Amino acid sequence: MITRDTIEEKLSLTEGEKKWLANPSSLPLLVSDFFFSLIDKDDPEDPIRRQVIPQELESKVEDFLDPLMEVSYSVTERLIHHYTNRCALLTTDRCFTYCRHCFRRRFTGTSTGQISQEQIIEAVDYLKAHKEVKELLLTGGDLFTLSNDRLEFLFRSLREAREDIIPRLCTRAVATYPERFDDELMAIVKRYSYGAPFVLMTQFNHPRELNEKSINAVSRFIDMGIPAYNQSVLLKGVNDNVDVLEELSNKLMYNRIKPYYLFQGDQVCGTKHLRVDIVKGLEIEKELRKRLSGLTMPQYTADLPQGGGKVILTENYLKEVHEDHVVFETPDGEIRKYPR
């Protein structure tokens, strides 16, 4: 693992990176050896590097620590119930690699540790009493930094309490630490693949992250019948380019991973330098829609501040509304009438 103490031995740092090292932000520097190996060491603007090596700009005090107001929607110490039909369970604050665009900086990397058995039971009891909850996001941090024993306890407790809930397995580890997905771990996943289906939620932000090892890690879930959906984050200098996103979406779909969300970066302290102007994001979305099919097109989405929730961002093709018809503009810029 590459840490703050070892980074200078492994990489020639830019001035901005050196300044962060002298005055680090709260989110630790930790990069798995595998993900670090994907960096082009000769390119200070390498898109993998920008995601994991911190810059001085992280130290700017602006934006929000908790823009989604998760603390306000927390019903137990670890369970967040914002949307009526789904909850998020913070299983751990740990990751194998800390992404500099992390939206949960208030929690991630804070030494809170993995969820305890008591906290799991507390969350499960809440879910028993709230039948309107149909899905549970197992998130953090990264779910798969949990020990196998704790994962087994979590899966068993959830299945015994609510077999009808769909668990979303939210992880970046398939990209950053694919060796985690060994036979022992996958046997645990398989043991609890009954009832409502598991769904694997990945985060690949750049085509280079989709390599043989990461693809094989995801394939172990898919071959078990667990569908995989990808949630990318639109990041300045990483993937704010139509060609890059087109390649990423097609590569994901080719490897049986559905491009699901393309998230606008959240207004989180220390991430503004990675956030893409939302108007540029809409221009990218408009061009992507011309190039990609419905299968490969992700939903460009913003999670609104102050707990406003998710909204889909897209070009408004509806231009006029009349008594007997409406007027649309096609993705290619032509005009079509549609009767009411």
Q: How high is the pLDDT of residue 63?
A: 78
For residue 265, the 8-state DSSP code is: P
Cβ neighbours for 266, distance < 8 A, ≥ 6 positions apart:
67, 68, 103, 303, 305
CB 27 within 8 A of CB 100: yes
CB 317 within 8 A of CB 330: yes
pLDDT tens digit at each of 340 positions of the chain: 999 999 999 999 999 999 999 999 889 999 999 999 999 999 999 999 999 999 999 987 777 888 899 999 999 999 999 999 999 999 999 999 999 999 999 999 998 999 999 999 999 999 999 999 999 999 999 999 999 999 999 999 999 999 999 999 999 999 999 999 999 999 999 999 999 999 999 999 999 999 999 999 999 999 999 999 999 999 999 999 999 999 999 999 999 999 999 999 999 999 999 999 999 999 999 999 999 999 999 999 999 988 899 999 998 899 999 999 999 999 888 999 999 9
The two tokens of residue 79 are: 């369970």
Three-state DSSP at 312 gives: strand
* Nearest alpha carbon to residue 190 among 166, 222, 216, 160: 222
In terms of Cβ atoms closer than 10 Å to its own Cβ (0-12, 13-18, 19+), residue 147 is exposed
Does domain 58-315 fall under CATH 3.20.20.70? My reply is yes
Query: Residue 104 carries which side chain, given as an amino acid letter?
Result: R
* Nearest alpha carbon to residue 302 among 336, 248, 259, 266: 266
* Nearest alpha carbon to residue 159 among 124, 190, 183: 124
Q: What angle do CA 86, 92, 95 make, to 5 degrees?
A: 110
Rounded-to-integer distance, Cα 245 and Cα 335, Å: 27
What residue spans define the domains of the chain? 58-315
Sequence-ordered alpha helix ranges (H) in the chain: 7-10, 15-22, 33-36, 47-52, 117-129, 148-161, 173-176, 183-191, 212-222, 242-254, 278-291
Q: How high is the pLDDT of residue 60?
A: 79
Which residues face 167 on adjacent strands? 136
Q: How high is the pLDDT of residue 162?
A: 96
The two tokens of residue 231 are: 């949630």
Q: How high is the pLDDT of residue 296?
A: 98
Q: Quote the radius of gyration of the chain (alpha carbons, Å).
A: 21
Instruction: Specify the residue for token string 């220390």.
Output: 270
Cβ neighbours for 83, distance < 8 A, ≥ 6 positions apart:
309
